[in-house]
């Protein structure tokens, strides 16, 4: 009995020792962020701004007719103005983060942190508060460069976001909800993420906890180098939900250099509107798999028009780099030096073609253009829709000259299954421009059964390709 008890004691001791060893090994396998936080926090700053906001009466309300000595009149005018006149403006505080990149006071943050700011105050870790001026800002990349009057400030070390790998540990320092120098850690979840309305930033996705106030703060790798700028979160609640996005430092520092030297950012431009290629569109274009960026529109007087781009071209390679998704193309074009000649490979009507284009400079008027019935009618039983000629007023409003027919009604059939809607304007069918209802009817009659064909429609001011498939067993 005594011997058995001794054996159990020995087993428990050995088990405990093994647990300690395993625990030590596990702890030893995790990175230690204490040194990184200690060494880099002095170069991270808190940014607060005073902004102007306008208060107006809600729609349909008017200022009541109150006596001149009524205190309510002053109160209402203070918050909502005088009705028809310009309302008063009030200061609003916003908080964000930033980091020092040069010892003489240059600070990088997000554009949206300092947007419309009347006054910018930078608070250092030693609690000094300095007034900052905007050297330059770029809305497209969400980057701003600030300057404070100070010397010998601590600075961060700049790394290379191109060297980041999915699964790599990263650390953020910032001021979430105003809590200065808060540290949060996680891993890189994905690289090169494209977000809606963000065409020029291949975001780093992480699971690092980012909240309001972290914007503009640095994202560090384990070597203590800044590899990103924390910029956005995906959330249904307004708080962190496991998805945060950072601007790659390679992109950010290119913007910073241009802001410092030129005060603005120069970006390359081709002059085309593009769309992603899905499985049905790939089949309709005769491609073996979905890839590339299909050209929806070639803007006039642009490098793309001069190089011979055509609507329906599928861009599959730009300057030697493959284009897998449409979001890949603006990122590459935007970073191409203006004036440089590049070769672009496209698939046109099932055949490969190489175009040479001299990259132009992105202009506001081109970007706005990119954002941007009566007469004869016909009913197509094959497609299940009714179309009519566009009136002159409709053509002017949609900026269409001699192309397109208006979809008046959609019935059950291939058109509805393809996603065509009432009010769409059909511009091309199976690679051929649609110029009239009569011609459209002939094009429909010649469509092959049993395979997908591309149809280009304009919905509002936005063109898009849809894949239209006629059934094999259709009846005439």
The set of catalytic residues is 112, 142, 215
Distance between CA 438 and CA 307 in Å, rounded? 32
237 CB-contact burial (10 Å; exposed 0-12 / middle 13-18 / buried 19+): exposed
H or E element at residue 225: strand 225-233
Distance between CA 290 and CA 280 in Å, rounded? 8
SS (H, E, C) 259-297: HHHHCCCCCEECCEEEEECCHHHHHHCCCCCCCCEEEEE
Distance between CA 105 and CA 453 in Å, rounded? 59
Give me the residues paired with residue 138 across strands.
143
177 CB-contact burial (10 Å; exposed 0-12 / middle 13-18 / buried 19+): exposed
Distance between CA 354 and CA 307 in Å, rounded? 10
Closest by alpha carbon to 45, among 113, 93, 98, 95? 98
Alpha-carbon Rg for the chain, nearest whole angstrom, is: 30
Distance between CA 243 and CA 188 in Å, rounded? 10
**φ and ψ of 306, to 5 deg:** -70, -30
- State the virtual CA torsion across 114, 120, 124, 127 in degrees, nearest 10: -140
Tokens (6 digits) for 58: 């809600």
Distance between CA 334 and CA 200 in Å, rounded? 7
Residues 295 and 357: beta-carbon distance below 8 Å: no
Give me the residues paired with residue 325 across strands.
none
Tokens (6 digits) for 243: 């998805």
DSSP state at residue 327: T
Q: Which residue has the tokens 């290629």?
A: 277
Helices (H) then strands (E): counts for the chain: 12, 28
Distance between CA 440 and CA 389 in Å, rounded? 10
CA–CA distances in Å: residue 366 to residues 271, 303, 321, 334, 429:
7, 11, 25, 14, 26
> Could you tell me how far CA 217 lies from the centroid of its own chain?
19
């Amino acid at each position: 009995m005594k011997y058995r008890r001794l054996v159990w004691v020995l087993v428990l001791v050995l088990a405990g020792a093994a647990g300690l060893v395993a625990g030590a090994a596990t702890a030893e396998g995790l990175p230690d962020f204490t040194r990184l936080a200690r060494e880099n926090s002095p170069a991270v700053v808190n940014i607060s701004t005073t902004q102007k906001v306008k208060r107006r009466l809600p729609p349909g309300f008017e200022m009541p007719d109150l006596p001149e000595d009524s205190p309510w009149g002053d109160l209402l005018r203070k918050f909502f103005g005088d009705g028809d006149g310009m309302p008063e403006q009030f200061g609003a505080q916003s908080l964000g983060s930033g980091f020092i990149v040069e010892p003489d006071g240059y600070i990088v943050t997000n554009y949206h942190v300092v947007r419309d700011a009347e006054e910018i105050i930078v608070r250092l870790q030693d609690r000094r508060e300095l007034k900052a001026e905007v050297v330059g800002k770029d809305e497209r990349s969400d980057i701003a460069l600030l300057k404070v009057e100070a010397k010998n400030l601590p600075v961060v070390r700049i790394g290379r976001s191109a060297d980041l790998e999915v699964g790599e540990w990263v650390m953020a320092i910032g001021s979430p909800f105003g809590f200065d120098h808060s540290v949060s850690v996680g891993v890189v979840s994905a690289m090169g993420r494209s977000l809606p309305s963000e065409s020029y930033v291949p975001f780093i996705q992480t699971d690092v906890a980012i909240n309001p106030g972290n914007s503009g703060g640095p994202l560090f790798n384990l070597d203590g180098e800044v590899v990103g700028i924390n910029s956005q979160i995906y959330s249904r609640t307004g708080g962190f939900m496991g998805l945060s996005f950072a601007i790659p430092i390679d992109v950010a520092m290119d913007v910073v250099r241009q802001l410092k030297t030129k005060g603005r950012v120069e970006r390359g431009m081709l002059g085309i509107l593009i769309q992603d290629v899905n499985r049905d569109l790939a089949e309709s274009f005769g491609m073996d798999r979905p890839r590339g960026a299909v050209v929806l529109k070639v803007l006039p007087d642009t490098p793309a028009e001069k190089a011979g781009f055509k609507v329906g071209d599928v861009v599959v390679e730009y300057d030697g780099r493959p284009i897998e998704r449409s979001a890949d193309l603006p990122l590459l074009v935007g970073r191409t030096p203006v004036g440089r000649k590049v070769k672009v490979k496209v698939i046109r009507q099932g055949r490969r073609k190489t175009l040479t284009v001299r990259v132009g400079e992105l202009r506001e008027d081109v970007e706005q253009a990119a954002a941007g019935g009566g007469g004869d009618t016909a009913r197509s039983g094959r497609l299940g829709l009714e179309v009519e000629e566009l009136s002159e007023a409709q053509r002017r409003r949609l900026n269409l000259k001699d192309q397109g027919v208006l979809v008046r009604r959609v019935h059950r059939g291939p058109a509805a299954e393809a996603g065509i809607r009432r009010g769409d304007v059909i511009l091309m069918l199976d690679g051929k421009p649609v110029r009239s209802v009569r011609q459209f009817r002939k094009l429909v009659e010649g469509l092959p059964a049993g395979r997908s064909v591309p149809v280009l429609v304009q919905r509002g001011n936005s063109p898009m390709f849809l894949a239209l498939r006629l059934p094999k067993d259709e009846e005439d």
